[in-house]
Structure 1
Amino acid sequence: MSDVRPTVRRRRLAAALVKLRDEAGKTPEEAAQRIGCHRTKISRIENARLGISLGELRDLLTFYGVDDQAYVDDMVAMARRGREPGWVQRASLARPSYSDFIGYEETADYIRSFQNVLVAGLLQTPDYARAVLQARPSTLSKDEVETLVTARIARQEVLNRADPPRVCVIEGEAALRVQVGGVKVMSQQLDRLLAMAERPNIELQILPDRAGAHAGLMGSFVLFSFPVSTYSDVVCVEHRTGTLYMETPAETEDYTLIFDSLRSIALSPADSLDMIARVRQELYH
Structure 2
Amino acid sequence: MSESRPTVRRRRLAALLVKFREEAGRTSEEAAERIGCHRTKINRIENARLGISLGELRDLLTFYGITNDTQIDEMVTLARRGRAPGWVQRASLARPSYSDFIGYEETSDYIRSFQSNLIAGLLQTGDYARAVINAAQAGLSSDEVDSLVTARLERQSVLQQSKPPRLSVIQGEAALRIAVGGRSTMAQQLDHLAKMAQHPLIELQVIPDRAGAHAGLFGSFVLFGFPHRDFSDVVCVEHRTGTLFMETPEETAEYTLIFDSLRSIALSPEDSLELIASVRGAL
TM-score over 0.5 (shorter chain) = yes
Contact 2:90 2:147 in 1 (8 A): no
Give the equivalent residue in structure 1 for 2:227. 227
Q: CA separation in 2, counterparts of 1:85 and 1:281? A: 40
1:107 positional shift: 1.7
1:158 positional shift: 1.4
Give the equivalent residue in structure 2 for 1:205. 205
Aligned pair in 2 of structure 1 residues 149, 77: CA closer, same or farther (>3 Å)?
Answer: same
Q: CA separation in 1, counterparts of 2:119 and 2:271? A: 18
Q: CA separation in 2, counterparts of 1:90 and 1:134? A: 17
Give the equivalent residue in structure 2 for 1:107. 107
Matched, 1:251 2:243: no
Structure 2 gap segments, 5+ residues each: none
Q: Which amino acid aligns with 1:245?
A: F
Give the equivalent residue in structure 2 for 1:31. 31
Q: Which amino acid aligns with 1:148?
A: L
Give the equivalent residue in structure 1 for 2:141. 141
Give the equivalent residue in structure 1 for 2:9. 9
Q: Which amino acid aligns with 2:267?
A: L
Contact 1:112 1:223 in 2 (8 A): yes
Matched, 1:46 2:46: yes
Aligned-partner SS, 1:236: strand
- Tell me which moved more, 164-173 or 25-34: 25-34
Contact 1:132 1:180 in 2 (8 A): yes
Q: CA separation in 1, counterparts of 2:85 and 2:28? A: 28
Q: CA separation in 1, counterparts of 2:100 and 2:264? A: 30
Give the equivalent residue in structure 2 for 1:164. 164
1:187 positional shift: 1.4
Q: CA separation in 2, counterparts of 1:23 and 1:43? A: 17
Q: Which amino acid aligns with 1:140?
A: L
Q: CA separation in 1, counterparts of 2:245 and 2:77? A: 24
Give the equivalent residue in structure 2 for 1:80. 80
Aligned pair in 2 of structure 1 residues 85, 191: CA closer, same or farther (>3 Å)?
Answer: closer
Runs of 4+ in 1 over 6 A off after TM superposition: none
Q: CA separation in 2, counterparts of 1:85 and 1:244? A: 23
Task: String of CA shifts for 1:224-267, please: whole Å, max 9, x gaps.
Answer: 12222222221111000011111222222221121111111111
Task: String of CA shifts for 1:143-188, please: whole Å, max 9, x gaps.
Answer: 3222221221111111122322111000011111111111221111
Q: CA separation in 2, counterparts of 1:41 and 1:144? A: 36
Q: CA separation in 2, counterparts of 1:53 and 1:171? A: 42
1:85 positional shift: 4.3
Aligned pair in 2 of structure 1 residues 12, 86: CA closer, same or farther (>3 Å)?
Answer: farther
Aligned pair in 2 of structure 1 residues 26, 254: CA closer, same or farther (>3 Å)?
Answer: farther
Aligned pair in 2 of structure 1 residues 250, 63: CA closer, same or farther (>3 Å)?
Answer: farther
Give the equivalent residue in structure 2 for 1:55. 55
1:134 positional shift: 1.5
Q: Percent identity?
A: 74
Aligned-partner SS, 1:203: strand
Q: Which amino acid aligns with 1:194?
A: A
Give the equivalent residue in structure 2 for 1:154. 154
Q: Which amino acid aligns with 2:152?
A: R
Q: Which amino acid aligns with 1:248?
A: T
Aligned-partner SS, 2:167: strand
User: TM-score, normalized by length of structure 1?
Assistant: 0.91
Give the equivalent residue in structure 2 for 1:269. 269
- Tell me which moved more, 243-252 or 80-89: 80-89
Aligned-partner SS, 1:6: coil
Aligned-partner SS, 1:244: strand
Give the equivalent residue in structure 2 for 1:18. 18
User: TM-score, normalized by length of structure 2?
Assistant: 0.92
1:117 positional shift: 0.6
Structure 1 gap segments, 5+ residues each: none
Give the equivalent residue in structure 2 for 1:217. 217
Give the equivalent residue in structure 2 for 1:125. 125
1:3 positional shift: 1.7
Q: CA separation in 2, counterparts of 1:224 and 1:137? A: 26
